[in-house]
Structure 1
Amino acid sequence: MSKQVLTERLSTILVEPHIKEKSMLLMGNRQVAFKVRVDATKPEVKAAVELMLDKKVDSVNILNVKGKSKRFGQYIGKRKNWKKAYVTLSEGQEVDFLGLE
């Protein structure tokens, strides 16, 4: 795989930061939560964070989130399944998505 194709793939791995109450508490422990592509792997997420954010990564934990069943009138639908990654940054590394400080 060429370096350009690899860089393009890594730039699409991180969909968005997952900013919820739990993820805000984890930021104090140098952990950041991201919504990632469904076909993303741990090494790809690690490489994407190091490429896009210029931060050193210690570890990556990934979990699959099942889509909820929702009712639309008399019809029952289902939201998409998605994947969440918890990234632990190295000592001294920090990311601030909200720009509070």
Structure 2
Amino acid sequence: MVYEKVDMVNISERPREADDRAVPGFWAGDLIIGQGNKSQLATSVDRSARFVMLVRIPYDRNAERVAYLLAKKMETLPEFFRNSVTWDQGK
């Protein structure tokens, strides 16, 4: 089954600065699932600086909750370091 998420931007539409990794503030995100699907951790890596942020996702891991917790963590960064997040869509 193929579906498109609402308001989702395709990776091909990512700004050029994110592709060449010359400018900080463009992030790659992924979700790590623990043993037995009992825990989860969101990871974000800045594509330029290679700075890593880890966000613990307690309880459920629905998209809204993960996005909210990741956004709260990103608010702790300086504004120039918050351009975009490209989320891994694979398994």
State whether TM-score is above 0.5.
no
Larger Rg: 1
The structure with the greater share of residues assigned to strand is: 1
The TM-score with structure 1 as length reference comes to 0.27
